[in-house]
Amino acid sequence: MVKLSINGTVHDVDVEQDTPLLWVLRDVLGMTGTKFGCGVAQCGACTVHLDGTPVRSCQTAVGDVGDMAIVTIEGIGATPAGAKVQKAWMDLQVAQCGYCQSGQIMSAAALLAQTPAPNDADIDAAMAGNICRCGTYVRIREGVKHAASLT
């Protein structure tokens, strides 16, 4: 049994300690907002926050999470930075297929929480781990800046 605090709710899950958080979220708990894209920390689709830090859940064993607070796309709107990013993403119509956008929003929210007024280099550094095959990068960049400007 592993105890996980996800978006403020504690879940007991019966999985092996080495199971990546991604599959616990998606397949065991049915929280499918967090996406599988590559499985090897190359695409960022699976990004969640552990105590506010963005991590790739495909590479995060549940046994290593301990009592750190997990926040996923389903819960990020409850954080100030997350709410701003979600609003900015709507304002700028960022999503196309949308499949990568959970991860993009999680990475962007973590960036804004750390760096309230990021410049282009900050955005590159924080977001280069998130692939968007639809090519929404122009709007992702604008979206981060727009989110930073929201009060």
Partner 1 sequence: MDKHLSTPGTSRRDVLRGLACGGLLLAVDLPLGRLAVAGENAPAVFAPDAFIRIAGDGTATLIMPQVEMGQGIYTAMTMLIAEELDLPLGAVRLEAAPASDALYGNPIFKIQATGGSTSVRAYWTPMRKAGAAARAMLVEAAAKRWQVAPASCETRDGTVLHTASGRSLPYGDLAAAAARLTPPADPPLKDPKTFRLLGKTQTRLDIEAKGNGSAKYGIDAMPPGVKFATLASCPVPGGKVKSVDDAQARAVPGVRQVVVLDDLVAVVGDHMWAAKKGLDKLAIVWDEGPNATLSTDSLRAAMHEAAKQPGVVVKSEGADAQPGAPGVISASYELPFLAHAPMEPMNCTVHLRPGACDVWTGTQVMTKAQAMAAQAAGLKPEQVTVHNHLLGGGFGRRLEVDMIDKAVRVAAHVDGPVKVVWTREEDIQKAMYRSTYGSWLSAKLENGKPVAWRHTVVGPSVIARWLPPAFTGGIDIDAIDGASDQPYAVGGFHVEYVRHEPQGVPTCFWRGVGPNNTVFSVESFIDRLARETKSDPLEYRRALLGANPRALQVLNTAAERAGWATPLPPAAGGRVGRGICLQTVFGSYLATIAEVAVRDDGEVQVRRLVTAVDCGMVVNPDGVVSQIQGGLVFGLSAALHGQITFEKGRVQQSNFHDYRVVRIDEMPAVEVHLVPSTEAPGGIGEPGTTTVQPAVANAIYAATGVQLTRMPIDRTLLAKGGRT
Residue 42 to residues 9, 26, 56, 58, 88, Cα–Cα distance (Å): 29, 19, 9, 10, 25
Q: Shortest distance, CB of residue 10 to partner 1, whole angstroms?
A: 20
Asked if 90 interacts with partner 1 (CB under 8 A), we say yes
Q: Shortest distance, CB of residue 147 to partner 1, whole angstroms?
A: 12
User: Nearest to residue 55, comparing CAs of 94, 21, 82?
Assistant: 21
Give me the sign of the Cα torsion angle 38, 42, 43, 44. positive
**Full strand arrangement of the beta sheet holding 53-56:** 9-13, 2-6, 69-71, 47-50, 53-56
User: Nearest to residue 57, comparing CAs of 31, 86, 24?
Assistant: 24
- Determine how many CB atoms are found less than 10 A away from the CB of residue 108: 33
Residues in contact with partner 1, counted by CB under 8 A, come to a total of 59
The one of partner 1, ligand FES, none whose footprint includes residue 148, by CB under 5 to 8 A per kind, is: none
Chain residues 87-126 in contact with ligand FES, contact rule CB under 6 A:
95-101
The H or E element containing residue 71 is: strand 69-71
Q: Which residue stretch of 49-57, 63-71, 109-117, 126-134 sits at the interface with partner 1 (rule: CB under 8 A)?
A: 126-134
Q: Which residue stretch of 49-57, 63-71, 96-104, 109-117 sits at the interface with partner 1 (rule: CB under 8 A)?
A: 96-104
Question: Which chain residues interact with partner 1 by CB under 8 A?
Answer: 15-16, 19-20, 23-24, 26-28, 30-40, 42-43, 45, 72-74, 77, 86, 89-90, 93-102, 105, 123-125, 127-141
Question: Which chain residues interact with ligand FES by CB under 6 A?
Answer: 36-39, 41-46, 56, 58, 95-101, 132-134, 136
